[in-house]
Amino acid sequence: MSMSVTQQKRNDAAESSLRDLFARFESDGSAVEVNFRQLLSSDGGTSKSAHGIHPYPAKLLVNIPQFFLAAIPTVAGSALLDPFCGSGTVLYEGALAGLRPIGSDSNPLARLITQAKLTPIDREVARRQLDEVMAAYPLVSPTIPDVVNRDYWFSERISDCLGRLKTAIECSVSAQHRPVFDVSFSATVRRVSYADPRLSVPVKINPDRSARYGAKGDEVIRRLGRLAKIDVGAVFWSITNQNIQRCLELGQGFVLDQPEIFSDARSLGLADASVGLAITSPPYVGAQKYVRASSLSLGWLGLTPDCKLRPIEQQSIGREHLTAKEELAPSGTGLAEADCLLDEIVERNPLRARIAQRYLLEMRDALSELSRTMRHDGRLILVVGPNLVAGLEFPTPLFLQKIAESFGFSTQLHLIDSIDSRGLMTKRNRTAGLIQQESVFLLKRVRAGA
């Protein structure tokens, strides 16, 4: 993939900025405050690119991977790993930069969105298949999978329409184009549900509480009236048509067979020392409710057998629901500072202490696996923010930095970026607080891990 003059100038500017940041960090060892939006402006509207194909909570600011991919020299076709890939922001940007994207996420919807972003399509064929879906849709029998509380979230008419769309997609769309069609179907599901569109986790619109909706309350309530007569097929057609345009054309962008996307960051199917660059933003302690936020889509996609979300949630690092067997480990986390803090948290809220300890233990496993896969001198960009646990400051960045260093990484740079009203600035548990800034570490793999 050849580089344009504009892209070369952009890379040169990013490399110069990174050298300056290194110098400032090395001068006193303190974290350097940056604004990634100003450091490197995004090279294109994300809503018009594949980043806009489906909503997803707490997306990583696209400027961060764009900056490091521009600033760090890479070899075309080399591996880029994101073990907590979410909806594929890092991997899509890496693929555009000519790298081979490898990802992992415990949420099946996240994996589907990432796959759709990384699968180039034949737009002409995809549009013909969309026409076939729309022709078949009124005539086929509906396929209604297990959807949690389906009657609560959808009218019977809308459920019937969605079921017919699902059948038509399964009958008319080729394997090459299924990811973009399935993602579009998922986005349609949320669009025609009774869920408040302003919130990531589904909350049903309640006309009796219109006063609580603020300035846009009337608009939210009017949505219920529109849903009574909404054309579900037309919504799906519009979303799919836009997404076909957003996805890369086969043969015109990056070329992949099937993207490598795993389901567990603690068990990557990769060879030892096979990755030279990793960029990732792990989940937080008491993570956002990614599975609950995805619940309607997961159900309609047929990914919640017997209407159960818990089996998927149990695979998530940072989850808030633990099994009875997941008690506090008496051996601790291996970090003295963390264990002392957890002792304080136990006194305030034993459950939050269990959640926080389990998070650190599972992140230790994930960072150990990441260390195994990375080459000597490989670079890891780790993006993570602090928060509160049971009302106490929980310095997640410090803890993860120390765990990474125990597995052979050396901190080369520490940046702090303020979060300015983006999806990550979300209240999770009432004692968790808001995440208002995040640390960005650049770490180098320098020795065998512990």
Cβ contact 116:187 at 8 Å: no
Same structural domain for residues 82 and 165? no
Residue 430, in any domain of the structure: yes
The last residue of a domain, from among 246, 276, 292: 246
Query: How does DSSP assign 50-119, residue by residue?
Result: GGGSS--TTPPPTHHHHHHHHHS---TT-EEEETT-TTTHHHHHHHHTT-EEEEE-S-HHHHHHHHHHT-
Residue 208 is classified by DSSP as G
**Residues 181-212, buried b or exposed e (16+ Cβ, 10 A)?**
bbbbbbbbbbbbbbbbeeebbbeebeeeeeee
Residue 9, in any domain of the structure: yes
Residue 141, in any domain of the structure: yes
Same structural domain for residues 338 and 269? yes
- The domain that holds 68 is classified in CATH as 3.40.50.150
Same structural domain for residues 56 and 184? no
The sign of the torsion formed by the CA atoms of 128, 142, 190, 201 equals negative
Q: 271, exposed or middle or buried, with CB in 10 Å at 0-12, 13-18, 19+?
A: exposed
Same structural domain for residues 64 and 153? no
Q: Which domain holds residue 223?
A: 123-246
Upper half-sphere CA count for residue 310 (Cβ side, 13 Å):
5
Same structural domain for residues 260 and 391? yes
Residue 112, in any domain of the structure: no
Cα–Cα distances (Å) from 200 to 153, 423, 431, in that order, read 15, 9, 19
71-118 per-position pLDDT tens digit: 999 998 999 999 999 999 999 999 999 999 999 999 999 999 999 999
Residue 289, in any domain of the structure: no
The CA-based diameter of the chain, rounded to the nearest angstrom, is 70
Same structural domain for residues 397 and 373? yes
For 156, other C-beta atoms within 10 Å of its C-beta total 9
Is it the case that residue 136 has pLDDT exceeding 90? yes
pLDDT at residue 421 in the model: 43
Same structural domain for residues 52 and 76? yes
Q: Token pair of 384, please?
A: 């993570």
pLDDT at residue 425 in the model: 38
The sign of the torsion formed by the CA atoms of 112, 118, 119, 121 equals positive
How far apart CA 24 and CA 19 sit, in angstroms, is 9
Residue 169, in any domain of the structure: yes
Amino acid symbol at 425: M
For 133, other C-beta atoms within 10 Å of its C-beta total 26
8-49 per-position pLDDT tens digit: 888 999 999 999 999 999 998 899 999 999 988 766 555 568
In the chain, how many domains are there?
A: 2
Is it the case that residue 422 has pLDDT exceeding 50? no
Is it the case that residue 431 has pLDDT exceeding 50? no
Residue 444's Cα: distance from chain center in Å?
24
Residue 187, in any domain of the structure: yes
How far apart CA 240 and CA 53 sit, in angstroms, is 9
* Strand 100-104, strand 79-82: pairing: parallel
Same structural domain for residues 280 and 355? yes
pLDDT at residue 426 in the model: 40
Same structural domain for residues 357 and 340? yes
Conformational region of residue 92, where left means phi above 0, alpha means psi within -120 to 50, and beta covers everything else: alpha
The last residue of a domain, from among 246, 269, 299: 246
Same structural domain for residues 378 and 435? yes
Residue 27, in any domain of the structure: yes
388-419 per-position pLDDT tens digit: 999 999 999 999 999 999 999 999 999 999 86
Residue 157 is classified by DSSP as H
Higher pLDDT, 212 or 385: 385
pLDDT at residue 58 in the model: 84
| Residues near 83 by beta carbon (within 8 Å), at least 6 away in sequence | 103, 104, 265, 268, 278, 280, 282, 366, 369, 370
Same structural domain for residues 164 and 216? yes
| Residues near 342 by beta carbon (within 8 Å), at least 6 away in sequence | 328, 332, 333, 353, 356, 357
Give the 3-state secondary structure of residue 440.
strand
The last residue of a domain, from among 225, 246, 267: 246
- Mean pLDDT on 239-261: 83
Q: Among 93-107, 256-270, 325-339, whose mean pLDDT is lowest?
A: 256-270
Same structural domain for residues 177 and 28? no
Cα–Cα distances (Å) from 264 to 295, 346, 365, in that order, read 19, 29, 11
162-189 per-position pLDDT tens digit: 999 999 999 999 999 999 999 999 999 9
